[in-house]
Amino acid sequence: MTFPQVLGLHHVTAIASNAQRNYDFYTQILGLRLVKKTVNFDDPFTYHFYYGNYYAAPGTILTFFPWTHISKGRRGVGMATEVGLSVPEGSLGFWKNRLQQAGVIVNSPATKFGEEYLTALDPDGLKLELTVAKNVARDTRLPFETSEIDATKAICGFHHTTLTLSNIQPTAEVLTDILGYRLTEQDVNRYRFVTDTVTEAAIIDLVEAPGEASGVVAGGSVHHIAFRVQDDAAEMALREKIVAKGFHVTPPIDRMYFHSLYFREPGGVLFEIATDVPGFTIDEPLESLGTTLKLPPQYEPRRTQIEAALPRLIV
């Protein structure tokens, strides 16, 4: 039987500029695994990089469109402004040193909702928050390990994502009435919403900032966030709920590794619903994920042309 509910975050997609710099930062400095090297299905002369844990599990997948000549975006209202990544207890000192040594802009550890976190900016200015979950025993996701980052330090996947909004109410209603989240905590203008369907990648923070300027989605900002559902039946059940609430939502779109719906929530952030199936091993084995350029069938006849146009990536 289908479980017709949202299972936390599936992936977060952001915009980068230089592909090589993005690849080096996320694989070498943060130690994530490149789990899929493909192209933007709507713009096949641009890469689409997917980083995640070894298993490329939904809830660990941070993806990028590297557009070489993109201008720099600006954080502000109507966008996802923070990407929270879960790290093990006791690892923040390691991360602070590591990031500083790599020349990354990083703050001293701080605390919100009783959880310690470290803010760092990726090379394009995307705001990352390496966060130690309150109940550390809960993060059961197996991280990807590298020669420099073992499982006592490695990033496990998403902890939260933050949306900054001029008025949280309409977005909060989407989270609670459609997506099954509930408000659990509030601190000044930050409201924490959690889904009980999963124990990881289960948190969305809404920050209400009525005086703040609108954000500009470009380099270093989040393009959209995707919520996870089990399968197509769950996705279509959810689609009916979204339509019933009066939102314009796309039909299901085949993204090769998952099936997606998109709608813009009333606060301005692009939301996607993405299925667990078929998953990232549909076109290459688990052991060699991300090692060759994968194209969807519609672009395979143009492979030579596409490969020639993409920036060369040294791995």
Structural tokens at position 30 = 């943060």
Q: How far is the CB of 47 from Zn ion (least distance, A)?
A: 14
- Footprint of Zn ion on 275-304 (CB under 5 A): none
Which range in 34-42, 147-155, 211-219, 271-279 contacts Zn ion by CB under 5 A? 271-279
Which range in 125-133, 231-239, 268-276, 294-302 contacts Zn ion by CB under 5 A? 268-276
Residues composing the chain = 315
Q: Give the Cα separation of 25 and 122 in Å (integer).
A: 7
Nearer to Zn ion, 33 or 223 (CB): 223
Residue type present at position 84: G
* CB 123 within 8 Å of CB 29: no
Asked if 13 touches Zn ion (CB under 5 A), the answer is yes
Q: In this structure, what are the phi and psi dihedrals at residue 271, rounded to the nearest 5 degrees? A: -105, 145
Q: Provide the 8-state DSSP code for 242.
A: H
* CB 206 within 8 Å of CB 165: yes
Nearer to Zn ion, 12 or 178 (CB): 12
Q: Residue count at the site for Zn ion (CB under 5 A)?
A: 3
Nearer to Zn ion, 78 or 88 (CB): 78
Question: Which x/- pattern, by CB under 5 A, does the window 58-77 give for Zn ion?
Answer: --------------------
Q: Give the Cα separation of 17 and 238 in Å (integer).
A: 34
Nearer to Zn ion, 88 or 219 (CB): 219
Q: Give the Cα separation of 29 and 54 in Å (integer).
A: 16
Q: Give the Cα separation of 73 and 79 in Å (integer).
A: 11
Q: How far is the CB of 13 from Zn ion (least distance, A)?
A: 5
Question: H/E element holding 84?
Answer: strand 79-86
Nearer to Zn ion, 13 or 230 (CB): 13
Q: Give the Cα separation of 181 and 200 in Å (integer).
A: 13
* CB 70 within 8 Å of CB 219: yes
Q: Give the Cα separation of 262 and 284 in Å (integer).
A: 26
Which range in 17-25, 157-165, 195-203, 269-277 contacts Zn ion by CB under 5 A? 269-277
Question: Which x/- pattern, by CB under 5 A, does the window 198-227 give for Zn ion?
Answer: ----------------------------x-
Q: How far is the CB of 43 from Zn ion (least distance, A)?
A: 13
Nearer to Zn ion, 106 or 225 (CB): 225
Question: Which x/- pattern, by CB under 5 A, does the window 224-263 give for Zn ion?
Answer: --x-------------------------------------
Interacting residues toward Zn ion by CB under 5 A: 13, 226, 272
